[in-house]
Amino acid sequence: MRYWLGASFVDTGQFVELARAAERCGFDTLTLSDHLFYADFASPYPYSSSGRPRWDASTHWPDVWVTIGAMAAVTTTLRFSPNVYIAPARDLFTVAKQVSTAAVLSHDRVTFGVGVGWCEEEFVGTGQDFHTRGRRLNAMIPVLRELWAGETVTVEGLPPLSICPTPERPIPVLVGGDSEAALRRAARLGDGWIGNRIYTEEQFDDVLAALRRHLDANGRSLDGFEVIAPLAVLPDADTYRRFEAKGVTGTMAAPWWLATDEEKARYGTGSLDLKIVTMERFAEEVIAKT
């Protein structure tokens, strides 16, 4: 079992020290989320019962790839992944160049967590078609892989082209989302699947059953397929071993969400010190025992 640090909603100025601490504590990958702006969205947020986002205009959403570049510069083994990057809200070449550059500068420590997104306003803001986002992402992923491999590709309306720099190793592509379309996309095009909500065991079992069905339809299995599942369970080594037996290869945690009242009073809610103290406790109580 590999442990991913879920660092959404973190203040931008904390990321560099958070990355150092995550590496020291034995986390495998640090993730951050992708949004372009805040507005009074008409688009319903799919991960809350109210349909409203769980954040406000003061919440930090730093650029994913700039932040990964800064964190990569102060670490040597920690990996980085968006959870998830809304690639179809951008054009193909912006995505290809950003991810490839981050992979090169980090010495192949980037995972491409990608999804179609839910916020139509962001697509309007970047001039991309919201309603064809799934179809465009399906077409985008194979071309991205070719570009990252240093190959010359042909895109309609352009001469044969390539990009540089490109990484030495393939960039893993993990597809996010738990709709049937997203699971089908992960099974057909992905190196794995990444959850972008927190699942109870019953919810996760349903997702895993559907994922297995789509993998089977594509002549694939969970063998060698990444399954990164944020789980609604209290941190416990035995529990995580049980999920590993189901096929989970990694889970996501933000240990400061479970800070004690004493820790909050001592270090301050939202502080970097609180995050590091709770990460160190998680490392001792969970990571070291699995």
**Span 221-238, pLDDT tens digits:** 999 999 999 999 988 889
Whether the pLDDT of residue 48 is over 90: the answer is: no
Segment 58-85, tens digit of pLDDT: 999 999 999 999 999 999 999 999 999 9
Q: What is d(CA 69, CA 101) in angstroms, rounded to the nearest whole number? A: 9
Q: Which residues contact 192 (CB under 8 A, 6 or more apart)?
A: 172, 173, 174, 175, 186, 225, 226, 227, 228, 249
What fold, for 29-62+77-171?
A: TIM Barrel (3.20.20)
pTM of the model: 0.95
Model confidence band, residue 49 (pLDDT cutoffs 50, 70, 90)? confident
Taking the domains of the chain in order of start, what are their residue ranges? 29-62+77-171
Q: For position 161, what pLDDT does the model report?
A: 97
What sections of 7-132 are H helices per DSSP? 15-25, 64-72, 92-105, 120-126
Q: What is d(CA 178, CA 280) in angstroms, rounded to the nearest whole number? A: 31
Plot region of 169 (φ>0 → left; ψ -120 to 50 → alpha; else → beta): beta
Lowest mean pLDDT, pick from 49-63, 110-124, 177-191, 268-282: 49-63
